Structure 1
């Protein structure tokens, strides 16, 4: 059994290994072979996720703003940038852990708004807006 604190650390390390370092061998140790993918943007399983990341530019980066955990679920709020589109994607990712591995995933993605696009006048991520596109 892992604690919520251990789960948070594992998920952050997993996201860094896959999205920032592109270390697929290390990522295999974090993602379950029976990984279940609920995202509308990613093909099924661990192979679908790894295939998507392989297809994206090497400039892809993930940074998190906060991470929450309860029991075997971890929620990240973060930003994917450098993925080849004009806007970064702000994401809420929910991961279910099982036996110390990422076993199941859900996400909500939205293009990051510039200051001109923000109805609230506040940035979606961090304390400043991205440059206008």
Structure 2
């Protein structure tokens, strides 16, 4: 890996990490408003494309006010994957196992994909979900 790709990868990981911290810890969309591209493309069936529509969705989403604990953060150039445990306000304390995949260009988030599932009973996954 060249130094320029390593620097890009590191920068993109930090942008995504800071995005999760801003949204789930500080409950603030200001940072996200600055890093989501105007023409942001969403591939999740329950969320809209476009920066303004996506930010409005985040403010009202079922997981707004929930928590996220990042378990794995992987990056390769423009792509960053986050494997995290998300709990919903008033929901099951085990929450959801989520993998988000983000694509960035020039320091802006331009695309998002995700998969999620409820964290099953520990007896079903003796080695753990995370």
TM-score normalised by L of structure 1: 0.80
Q: Could you tell me which runs of 5 or more consecutive residues in structure 2 were left unpaired when the two chains were aligned.
A: none
Q: Could you tell me which runs of 5 or more consecutive residues in structure 1 were left unpaired when the two chains were aligned.
A: 126-133
SS at match of 2:122: coil
Change (3 A) 1:68 1:58: closer
Aligned equivalent of 1:71: 77
CA RMSD of aligned residues (A): 2.1
TM-score normalised by L of structure 2: 0.81
Query: Of residues 68, 72, 76 in structure 2, which corresponds to 1:62?
Result: 68
SS at match of 1:15: helix
In proportion to residue count, which structure has more helix?
A: 2
Deviation of the 1:92 alpha carbon? 0.8
Query: Of residues 94, 100, 105 in structure 2, which corresponds to 1:98?
Result: 105
Deviation of the 1:31 alpha carbon? 1.2
Cα deviation code 1:28-67 (max 9, x no counterpart): 1121111110011212223343233322466411221111
Aligned equivalent of 1:46: 51
